[in-house]
Structure 1
Amino acid sequence: MGRFGKLETDVHIKASASKFHEILHKRTHRISNVSTDKVHGVDLLEGEWGEVGSIICWRYFHDGKARVTKERIEAVDKQNNSITFTVIEGDLTEKYKSFKFNIQCIPKEKGSVIHWVLEYEKLHDEIPDSHSMLQFCVEMSKDIDAHLMEGSEEPYHNDISGQKCEALSINKSKKRHVWHCLIFLGLNQNTMGRFGKLETDVHIRASASKLHEIYHERTHHISNVSTDKVHGVDLLEGKWGEVGSIICWRYFQDGKARIAKEKIEAVDKENNLITFTVIEGDLMEKYKSFKFKMQFIPKEKGSVIHWVLEYEKLHDDIPDSHTMLQLCVDVAKDIDAHLMEGSEEP
């Protein structure tokens, strides 16, 4: 569990889908002239630019270090503006047995949406999900968009090509887990980046009904199960599990003890759904609004917790709440471990 990962991001941009797709498809080597601080060069090693089966080498700067990745163009769909790159050598293979980048450029009434999908298998469970690479893709997309909106027909010419990558060996390993994360950035040109939506599917062993019961009616017991992350959950108004009731979470996040006062917004017992809306606390220092939505979905073996975090930032410079998403996942795993011990309740 934890080896297989899938991260997805929708980035709303102002440029057209066809122009953006053309850059990634046939003029990939010119991205280094547009996103200079992130991409240092893209070189053709085999084949022709934009052809399926061709091999290219990306020289880029990621997580404070200059890196290299050798990729094959796996698939191209010109009609749907989509392209897939598969990593075959380079720095990413030091942590991942396989890694794919799927990009689709989707036309909209105003601008377009770049849908990024990162699919990978880690070499071992301790390797974190590749959120920083996802963010890298988002930022590079914004650089390309900014260039295209300057009115230039194409990025400046790049004379460097054909430099070879050093091959790195690929280690082998087995085990499974799927994590789905979707980020929705921007609702219109004036508020681009303010609105966020993160989604995660966490596969666990406990039943959906037991997990829903914990989050719905026995929320105050979570601090006895996830002691290092949740220091207490207190009822302030109403009754445990009732819509409209207000509870206070005392938790530890990003190296600091924090508080969130939340209202139970909605409960659907039949579908194991619950929604919490933040009304006061530390999150309000960065967000105008913040909601937690959970659905507990039964599976043949265990269940899936589908987390959705929806928020509006106070300003564009506030990062998306990946650390809160990770906290939700870690707490869910703690509850799952407890339930699988055979105890009836926390």
Structure 2
Amino acid sequence: MAGLPCKLIAQVAFKAGGDVFHHLISNKPHHLSNVTPGKIQACELHQGDYGTNGSVILWKYTFDSKPPSLKFLGQDIDEVKKTISYKMLEGDLLKYYKNMLITMHVETRDRVDFVTWTVEYELLKPENQHPISLIGFFIDLTKEVETHIFG
């Protein structure tokens, strides 16, 4: 429904080291175009520094066979808790969602690292689809990074 806050969550076991994944996403996201070129084509810093609250990053990526771009504000970056959130500022998804916040969190349980992706959003119109394919995108991205690290 339009105007109601919604949330999608996906969690993936990550065998290549959660600290490595968090460091890549928060401090070196521009390297993702080398690691997952079929998904991320560029990550351009527009304001601030990578890995800092208030940084503004433009992501160019391929999603659902289309090459959209999104500009996000980095916030709630916590190296100890291994979390980072990106608030959508501009981009193609604003045609469908009033707002969107994407959070990535790494945690370790029983010596296994898990990457959790949370997408919080509000539909602009009730007939707009929920971003289930976007959660799938993050699951696939996580698995591709793991495969790249393990080589």
Structure-2-length-normalised TM-score: 0.95
CA separation in 1, counterparts of 2:150 and 2:110?
16
SS in 1 for 2:130: coil
CA separation in 2, counterparts of 1:134 and 1:81?
19
- 1:233-291: CA deviations, max 9, x gaps? xxxxxxxxxxxxxxxxxxxxxxxxxxxxxxxxxxxxxxxxxxxxxxxxxxxxxxxxxxx
Matched, 1:141 2:142: yes
CA apart distance, 1:47: 0.6
The letter for the 1-side match of 2:127 is E
CA apart distance, 1:21: 0.4
Structure-2 residue corresponding to 1:54: 55
> Which of the pair has more CA radius of gyration?
1
Identity fraction in percent: 28
SS in 1 for 2:143: helix
- 1:64-105: CA deviations, max 9, x gaps? 211000000011111111110000001111111100101101
- 1:294-337: CA deviations, max 9, x gaps? xxxxxxxxxxxxxxxxxxxxxxxxxxxxxxxxxxxxxxxxxxxx
Structure-2 residue corresponding to 1:131: 132
Matched, 1:75 2:73: no
The letter for the 2-side match of 1:135 is G
- 1:15-42: CA deviations, max 9, x gaps? 1111110000100000011111111111
Structure-1 residue corresponding to 2:105: 104
Q: What CA RMSD, in Å, does the superposition of the two structures yield over aligned residues?
A: 1.2
Structure-2 residue corresponding to 1:89: 90
Structure-2 residue corresponding to 1:10: 11
Contact kept, 8 Å, 1:35 with 1:143, in 2: the verdict is yes
Contact kept, 8 Å, 1:8 with 1:116, in 2: the verdict is yes
Structure number with the higher helix fraction is: 2
SS in 1 for 2:62: strand
Structure-2 residue corresponding to 1:114: 115
Structural mapping, 1:1-346, within 5 Å:
1=1, 3-150=4-151
CA separation in 2, counterparts of 1:62 and 1:133?
8
Find runs of 4+ consecutive structure 1 residues off by over 6 angstroms: none
The letter for the 2-side match of 1:30 is H
Structure-2 residue corresponding to 1:154: none
CA apart distance, 1:110: 4.5
CA separation in 1, counterparts of 2:25 and 2:16?
13
CA apart distance, 1:128: 1.0
The gaps in structure 1 that reach 5 residues or longer are 151-346
How many equivalent pairs are there?
A: 150
The letter for the 1-side match of 2:126 is D
CA separation in 2, counterparts of 1:135 and 1:11?
11
Contact kept, 8 Å, 2:52 with 2:75, in 1: the verdict is no
CA separation in 1, counterparts of 2:106 and 2:149?
14
